[in-house]
């Protein structure tokens, strides 16, 4: 019997604001077999870095939910350069901020609707360059 190795899809998500709060955007990049298969960025207006980080995750999870038929992988790994968001989603940190709670709740609900298992990992900004570049381009286009 031949086993086909399933190459996992990797999602790199980011959000940022110039000033905190300030003009903000978010973005994500989906990578499979070392190639970008999809990317998206969104301008958010004036908000905080943490809100922008969660919004980047939300657009990624929404895309995954809407396109889950395309993926045969059992596990989807999402990489963020926000240790706070990763620790909150993994349950290590409590979410105290009232602006963040509904965003985290939406993220967890979307995660449950996705048939694949979703894992969250912290990566340094240097490993999240594509998503970071997209969100900065989106801010530049809107200020």
Going along the chain from its start, the domains and CATH numbers come out as 10-136 (3.30.420.10)
Sort strands 75-80 and 10-17 into parallel, antiparallel or unpaired.
parallel
| pLDDT value of residue 17 | 97
Instruction: Evaluate the CA torsion angle 104, 106, 108, 110 in order and state its sign.
Output: negative
| pLDDT value of residue 3 | 54
| pLDDT value of residue 38 | 96
In this prediction the pTM is 0.93
How large is the angle between the packed helices 49-66 and 129-142, nearest 10 degrees?
A: 110
pLDDT tens digits, one per residue of 29-67: 999 889 999 999 999 999 999 999 999 999 999 999 999
Q: Which bin fits 125, alpha (ψ -120 to 50), beta or left (φ > 0)?
A: alpha
Across 126-135, average pLDDT: 97
Percent of the chain with pLDDT strictly greater than 90? 85
47's tokens: 């908000």
Q: Which of 34, 57, 39 is nearest to 107 (CA)?
A: 57
Q: Residue 1 — pLDDT band, cuts 50, 70, 90?
A: low
């Amino acid at each position: 019997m031949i086993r086909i190795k399933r190459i996992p899809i990797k999602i790199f998500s980011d959000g940022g604001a110039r000033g905190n709060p300030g003009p903000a955007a978010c973005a994500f990049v989906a990578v499979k077999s070392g190639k970008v298969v999809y990317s998206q960025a969104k301008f958010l207006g004036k908000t905080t870095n943490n809100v922008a980080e969660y919004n980047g995750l939300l657009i990624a999870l929404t895309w995954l939910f809407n396109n889950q038929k395309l993926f045969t992988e059992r596990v989807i790994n999402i990489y963020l350069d926000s240790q706070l968001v990763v620790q909150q989603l993994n349950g290590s940190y409590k979410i105290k901020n009232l602006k963040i709670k509904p965003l985290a709740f939406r993220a967890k609900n979307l995660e449950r609707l996705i048939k694949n298992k979703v894992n969250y990992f912290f990566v340094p900004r240097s490993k999240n360059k594509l998503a970071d570049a997209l969100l900065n381009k989106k801010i530049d286009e809107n200020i």
